[in-house]
Chains A and B, each alone.
Chain A
Amino acid sequence: MTPLIDVAGLTKSYGRKRGIIDVSFEVIAGEVFGFLGPNGAGKTTTMRLLMALLYPDAGSARIGGMDCWRQSVDVKRIVGYLPGELALDPNLTGGQILAYFANLRGGVDRVYLQALIARLNLDPARRYRQYSHGNKQKVGLIQAFMHRPRVLILDEPTSGLDPLNQHEFGRMVAEVRGEGRTVLLSSHVLSEVESACDRVGIIREGRLVRVGAVAELKEIRRHEVDLTFADEPPADAFRDVPGIERVERLRGSRTLRLIVHGDIDALVKAAGRYSLTALVSREPSLEDVFLRFYDDAGASRQDADRVVS
């Protein structure tokens, strides 16, 4: 299938400061793609490059088959964009801002626009400067969605939204996906990415370190298993069990916490040789996977310290 967003070898630096390095990924039509990464990793730079607000040092980016720089005006006809930091005229009301951007886009479906305003419970009669952070974000979201773009590029879309509106936003994204439209979003709310996105790209220090389906990423998961023994815990007994990455005795208890990579079958069989009073296994969240990518060096050092041998 032809990708709707096609990024290849995209590189951008800000003088001596790193931006992004050789970032490549594709997003197909009808897909919701999540961009994960800590502050300064390069998520916003990538999105601003796609919106032709920045020019790349190397690489290419195409949306709908069009070059993001050479055909930027045509690209922007099919894209709705929410920047990470909204800066709008503080003297205009929310309604005036939406009317202005609707006119710049050559008009929008007013019924749909009113529906978006109602869904996010925005008061369009207030001046932008009088809005709370969350309400400003709603103005940004509505202007990104209001012309029913084929592609939505949303930089931290739920920032400042209350849980109810975050939920409503999730439903809006699901509807967009249901209509075969495409979303590229960045977020720090990993549970949101986990539930909303089909695929995720993890960016670290300007490089895309992993791209995969949410399910795929969770495949590389580690289980956290707590074994509580009737007698003194036999820590050494699990050292050679396949997949064991870390064994730790919880202070003041007969419980061992084990971090297992992959299948836990061998561990359960090994534990069966002992008298157990409890076995608790926790599913790793996407957050755990994400943190692993960012804490590899530190985690390995900690592992060495904490392994009971």
Chain B
Amino acid sequence: MTTRVRAARMRTVWFHSVFLKTLRDCRLPIFGWGLGIGTLVPVTFAGVSIVLASAAGREDILALTRNPVIRLFAEPVSVETAGGYATWRLSMLLPMLAVWALLAVSRVTRGEEELGALDVLLSVSGSRSRVVVEKLAAIAAALILIGVLIGGLALAGARLTRVELAPHRAALFGLNTTLFALVFASAAFVVAQFTRERRPAAGATAILLGISFVLTSAGRVIAGGEWIGRLSPLYYFELNKPLVAEYPVNGGGLVIMAVTALVLTIAGLALFARRDIGAPYIVACSHVRDRVPSQALPMASWSLRSLMTRHARGVAASAGWWALAVGLYALLLTVLLRQIQQNLRDLLADLLRTQPQFAPLVERFTGGGDTASNMVFLNAVFTVLVVVVVAFAASLANGWASDEEEGRLDLILATPSARSRVVLTRVAAAALGLTFVTASILLGATLASALVSMQLDLRRVAAAAFAMVPIGLVVVSIGYVLAGWLRTQAVTGILTGFILASFALTILAPLFKWPDALLQASIFEQYGTPLVDGPHAGRVLGQLGVATVLIVAAVIRFTRKDLTR
């Protein structure tokens, strides 16, 4: 048998079953996420080993973990060791694998139903449950492979940097990440039974993921509130810290995540087996009729009047959900910040009894009345919120690329609308959406500050919230430029890579003492800390300038390109 024949046979092997075909479709994410996240562990090991070698470096790291706000996002454990430091710094990044998992499950189940592709698959022999089980099994297999890559790279990194890490703990590190992502993959499958389309299913599950983060934070900082954390899958993920050598292995946490994923999958399968293909479960079972719209043509409907209003309406649908999510997140985290301040006061109670002269000082920093220290506390929340806003911006760019690829622009361009107008109105709608989402952050923080008597400089909070708009516009414009040449999947991949790389750069650059110019390549560094330092007009203008240049490039490209599918 020639090599060519063997290669051809290997290629066709992937089309022998639904499982293999779905797994084949996941090959890029397997390597992208596996290598992307996996590489961060050895790189962090290498960086932190250098820092920990000096007493000053160790003191810097310990000083960082002394910031009480840090507990909001992760519990620092043994941060003076390479494993402890890596666990702490990557604790926000590893669960992001759940984002891919929920997107992938929404796509291969509800997404294929939406496109009608599932109709064809279900027309071949085999039960409908089997088809879906094979698809879900393929996503699970992909997550396991990603876990293997993450664990394998952690082990290799540990060997190279002489960090103590037993092979079974490296395997556990990968498994823990895989199981957490599996919980949200199966949650997305359940949610998809109640939606008509892929996007609401993914969006609602992403909100569940966000809630999971908030619950875990609340469990950490509210005195006696550990039970709140237990409601979140992230709590069980954090029960294991395999990179920390002395930290005990918690089999219960792993079992709870595995059982949750299994139960959700079975529930989803039961719902799937009882409903019509293409319809949500609730309609199929309750026989609720859709509201019968008027037969009259809605010529005067505001959203149908022009390209701009239609695009704005299109963005508003998703922006509403994102705004609700980030607004609530800002509100809850601000409330939790106040809780942290009160915890600190409780901790210092003994000190106050013996040394009452410190009372005014303690009151100043923990009483909620000192605007400057409150802004420093809130800054930690905003560093997370800017990541969410950037993710929203990436989703807007992704929507543009997919509309073009799926031919939804063809008929619009068959009307007397110039191509440049079509793209510019869409960018304007994206800017409106970003403004709306960032306004909800301002609203959430303002409401929370009023509720818990936490004094904030609201003008600065407003400036810091709206400073996320130009950052978002830079991401949108990068996506629009890429969409001029690349397909949706590539645009999404590159933007996700860009966001993750920015995140990694923010973590790694200080460790390795990389030059500031390199650090500034991170989109999050460009945002800076406007809550603490005040708005930076030059930086904002620079971002708007970059966005403008990229948008002009995107418009030029779009006006000259072929629209092919």
Which of B293-301, B370-378, B530-538 contacts its partner? Answer: B293-301
Interface residues of B in 406-426 (CB under 8 A from A): 406-408, 410-418
**Chain B residue contacts of A105, Cβ below 8 A:** 415-416
Question: Which of A85, A87, A101 meets B415, CB within 8 Å?
Answer: A101
Question: Which of A85, A124, A129 meets B196, CB within 8 Å?
Answer: A129
Which of A75-83, A240-248, A290-298 contacts its partner? Answer: A75-83
Q: Are B560 and A76 in contact (CB under 8 A)?
A: no
Q: Are A51 and B408 in contact (CB under 8 A)?
A: no
Please give the distance in Å from A117's CB to the nearest CB on chain B. 8
Residue of A nearest to B407 (CB): A87
Bound-state Cα–Cα, A143 to B564, Å: 22
Please give the distance in Å from A109's CB to the nearest CB on chain B. 12
Q: Are B196 and A52 in contact (CB under 8 A)?
A: no
> Is B451 an interface residue, CB under 8 A from the partner?
no
> Is A54 an interface residue, CB under 8 A from the partner?
yes
**Chain A residue contacts of B114, Cβ below 8 A:** 90, 129
Q: Are A103 and B306 in contact (CB under 8 A)?
A: yes
Please give the distance in Å from B199's CB to the nearest CB on chain A. 10
Q: Are A73 and B296 in contact (CB under 8 A)?
A: no
Q: Are B416 and A76 in contact (CB under 8 A)?
A: yes
Please give the distance in Å from A90's CB to the nearest CB on chain B. 8
**Chain A residue contacts of B296, Cβ below 8 A:** 95
Interface residues of B in 235-254 (CB under 8 A from A): none
**Chain A residue contacts of B301, Cβ below 8 A:** 96, 99
Bound-state Cα–Cα, A105 to B295, Å: 21
Bound-state Cα–Cα, A230 to B301, Å: 77
Assess A85 versus B407: contact at CB under 8 Å? Given A102-B299, A125-B292: yes
Q: Are B304 and A100 in contact (CB under 8 A)?
A: yes
Interface residues of A in 248-296 (CB under 8 A from B): none
Assess A79 versus B305: contact at CB under 8 Å? Given A95-B295, A125-B293: no
> Is B11 an interface residue, CB under 8 A from the partner?
no
Q: Are B304 and A96 in contact (CB under 8 A)?
A: yes
> Is B349 an interface residue, CB under 8 A from the partner?
no
**Chain B residue contacts of A103, Cβ below 8 A:** 299, 304-306
**Chain A residue contacts of B295, Cβ below 8 A:** 95, 123-125
Q: Are B411 and A143 in contact (CB under 8 A)?
A: yes
> Is B350 an interface residue, CB under 8 A from the partner?
no
Assess A87 versus B410: contact at CB under 8 Å? Given A104-B306, A110-B297: yes
Please give the distance in Å from B258's CB to the nearest CB on chain A. 36
**Chain B residue contacts of A98, Cβ below 8 A:** 297
**Chain B residue contacts of A99, Cβ below 8 A:** 297-299, 301, 304
**Chain B residue contacts of A215, Cβ below 8 A:** none
Residue of B nearest to A98 (CB): B297
**Chain A residue contacts of B197, Cβ below 8 A:** 90
> Is A93 an interface residue, CB under 8 A from the partner?
yes
**Chain B residue contacts of A54, Cβ below 8 A:** 562-564
Question: Which of B292, B294, B414, B418 meets A51, CB within 8 Å?
Answer: B414
Residue of B nearest to A129 (CB): B196
Q: Are B562 and A53 in contact (CB under 8 A)?
A: yes
Which size class do B's interface residues fall under?
Answer: 35 or more
**Chain A residue contacts of B290, Cβ below 8 A:** 127
> Is B460 an interface residue, CB under 8 A from the partner?
no
> Is A113 an interface residue, CB under 8 A from the partner?
yes
> Is B310 an interface residue, CB under 8 A from the partner?
yes
**Chain B residue contacts of A90, Cβ below 8 A:** 114, 197
Bound-state Cα–Cα, A114 to B407, Å: 27
Question: Which of B293, B416, B417, B563 meets A95, CB within 8 Å?
Answer: B293
**Chain A residue contacts of B415, Cβ below 8 A:** 76, 101, 104-105
Question: Which of A53, A55, A88, A143 meets B413, CB within 8 Å?
Answer: A53
Q: Are B416 and A73 in contact (CB under 8 A)?
A: yes
Q: Are B293 and A81 in contact (CB under 8 A)?
A: no
Q: Are B306 and A89 in contact (CB under 8 A)?
A: no
> Is B307 an interface residue, CB under 8 A from the partner?
yes
**Chain A residue contacts of B406, Cβ below 8 A:** 87
Q: Are A104 and B408 in contact (CB under 8 A)?
A: no
> Is B565 an interface residue, CB under 8 A from the partner?
yes
**Chain A residue contacts of B562, Cβ below 8 A:** 53-55
Bound-state Cα–Cα, A298 to B176, Å: 63
Q: Are A125 and B304 in contact (CB under 8 A)?
A: no
**Chain B residue contacts of A113, Cβ below 8 A:** 297
Question: Which of A83, A102, A123 meets B407, CB within 8 Å?
Answer: A83
Assess A124 versus B297: contact at CB under 8 Å? Given A54-B564, A87-B406, A104-B307: yes
Please give the distance in Å from B400's CB to the nearest CB on chain A. 14
**Chain B residue contacts of A95, Cβ below 8 A:** 293-298
Interface residues of A in 212-251 (CB under 8 A from B): none
**Chain A residue contacts of B293, Cβ below 8 A:** 93, 95, 125
**Chain B residue contacts of A53, Cβ below 8 A:** 410, 413-414, 562-563
Bound-state Cα–Cα, A72 to B415, Å: 10
Interface residues of A in 46-94 (CB under 8 A from B): 48, 51-55, 72-74, 76-77, 79, 81, 83, 85-90, 93
**Chain B residue contacts of A83, Cβ below 8 A:** 407, 410-411, 414
Please give the distance in Å from A290's CB to the nearest CB on chain B. 27
Question: Which of B297, B298, B417 meets A104, CB within 8 Å?
Answer: B417
Q: Are A81 and B304 in contact (CB under 8 A)?
A: no
Assess A125 versus B417: contact at CB under 8 Å? Given A89-B408, A104-B412: no
Please give the distance in Å from A70's CB to the nearest CB on chain B. 12
Select the residue from B196, B290, B411 with max chain A CB neighbours within 10 A.
B411
Q: Are A125 and B294 in contact (CB under 8 A)?
A: yes
Assess A73 versus B418: contact at CB under 8 Å? Given A83-B410, A125-B294: yes
**Chain A residue contacts of B563, Cβ below 8 A:** 48, 53-54
Pairs A–B under 8 Å by Cβ, sample size 29: A48-B563, A51-B413, A54-B562, A54-B563, A72-B418, A73-B416, A76-B413, A83-B407, A83-B410, A85-B565, A86-B407, A88-B408, A89-B408, A90-B197, A95-B297, A95-B298, A99-B298, A99-B301, A100-B310, A101-B415, A103-B299, A104-B306, A104-B415, A104-B416, A104-B417, A105-B415, A105-B416, A110-B297, A114-B297
CB within 8 Å of B: which residues of A? 14, 48, 51-55, 72-74, 76-77, 79, 81, 83, 85-90, 93, 95-96, 98-106, 110, 113-114, 123-125, 127, 129, 140, 143
CB within 8 Å of A: which residues of B? 114, 196-197, 290, 292-299, 301, 304-307, 310, 314, 406-408, 410-418, 560-565
Known interface pairs A52-B413, A89-B408, A125-B295; 20 further A-B residue pairs with C-beta atoms within 8 A, sorted by A's residue number: A51-B410, A51-B413, A53-B562, A54-B562, A76-B416, A76-B417, A85-B407, A86-B411, A87-B406, A87-B407, A88-B408, A90-B114, A95-B293, A96-B298, A98-B297, A102-B297, A103-B299, A123-B295, A125-B293, A140-B411
